[in-house]
Amino acid sequence: MTSKHTEPSPEPPEGAPDINYVSLSKAMSKALRHRPERLGITLAPDGSVSMGVLIRALNRRGGWPRRITEADIMQVVEHGSKQRFAVENGRIRARYGHSIALDAAYVPAEPPAVLYHGTSQRFLDSILDKGLLPMDRQVVHLSTDVETAQLVGRRHGGHTVILQVDAARAAREGIRFYRGNDSTWLADTVPARYLSLLWANPS
Ligand code: HQG
């Protein structure tokens, strides 16, 4: 459950810019996935931090048109473009995407039988050779449907390619999977023998 909003959400002065929620979401991702120490916070082994600590740290950093409140954080959590964050018992964590190592950020779970990975064609030879590797993150990111995989792949520019992952067989043979959000699953690595090229954008 989400904790109660304890701070008022003051209206900015007439005509003043309000909080940019994309900027806030990026600052939250940086704090909860990549560089918590930059904000002077420490994450628990599951990647969480208390809501109050995060809010105080974001306000200490400054650069906002007014003070960030819990209502602002919840706006990003509940209405952001993706389910990037989870709030439970007054604590907030990133659901996926970490570059920092955490002991208990992800809980193993049984994946859907088939998953997809969208990427740029320029990575394809290396992926088919070495398999999917976490690269700068802690885990590989997979999608539950082709549409989501296309969006993920498109971020990398160039021609988008979609790989199909035989997750059922990989899981059976010992590859560990974790649930990220409704459309995102995670895995430690995915060896190339579980991958097949599903679709390559010709344009
Ligand atoms: C590629 C976004 C060469 C991999 C998205 C990918 C996602 C290899 C890139 C989440 C490789 C890493 C993660 C190999 C993998 N050789 N390249 N062996 N193995 N790669 O951004 O999956 O908006 O770290 O194909 O929606 O693109 O941040 O991973 O292209 O859910 O919430 O290395 O980030 O979510 O790129 O995206 P990324 P990703 P947010």
Domain ranges of the chain: 21-94, 114-200
For residues 22-43, give the mean pLDDT.
97
Q: What is the pTM of this model?
A: 0.91
131-183 tens-digit pLDDT: 999 999 999 999 999 999 999 999 999 999 999 999 999 999 999 999 999 99
Mean pLDDT of the chain: 92
Residue 6: its pLDDT value, please? 44
Residue 200: its pLDDT value, please? 72
> In this model, does residue 129 exceed pLDDT 60?
yes
- In short, whether 184's Cβ falls inside 6 Å of ligand 1 is yes
- In short, whether 141's Cβ falls inside 6 Å of ligand 1 is yes
Ligand 1 midpoint to CA 31 (Å): 19
pLDDT band at 97 (very low <50, low <70, confident <90, very high): very high
| Bridge partner residues of 190 (DSSP) | 132
Q: 161 near 180, Cβ under 8 Å?
A: no
Question: What's the CATH fold of domain 21-94?
Answer: Arc Repressor Mutant, subunit A (1.10.10)
Q: 25 near 80, Cβ under 8 Å?
A: yes
Distance (Å, whole) CA 84 – CA 76: 9
Q: 56 near 6, Cβ under 8 Å?
A: no
Residue 202: its pLDDT value, please? 53
Ligand 1 midpoint to CA 90 (Å): 30
Distance (Å, whole) CA 36 – CA 55: 13
3.20.170.30, 3.40.50.150, 3.30.413.10, 3.40.50.970: which CATH number matches 114-200?
Answer: 3.20.170.30
- In short, whether 123's Cβ falls inside 6 Å of ligand 1 is yes
Residue 36 neighbours by CB distance under 10 Å = 19
Q: What share of the chain is helix, strand, coil (3-state, %, to 5)?
A: 35, 25, 45
For residues 105-128, give the mean pLDDT.
97
Ligand 1 midpoint to CA 95 (Å): 15
159: left (phi over 0), alpha (psi -120 to 50) or beta: beta
Residue 77: its pLDDT value, please? 98
- In short, whether 97's Cβ falls inside 6 Å of ligand 1 is yes
Tell me how far apart the 2 most distant CA atoms of the chain are, in Å.
Answer: 60
Q: Which residue has the higher pLDDT, 32 or 16?
A: 32
Ligand 1 midpoint to CA 113 (Å): 21
84 CA: nearest ligand 1 atom: 32
- In short, whether 152's Cβ falls inside 6 Å of ligand 1 is yes
> In this model, does residue 31 exceed pLDDT 70?
yes
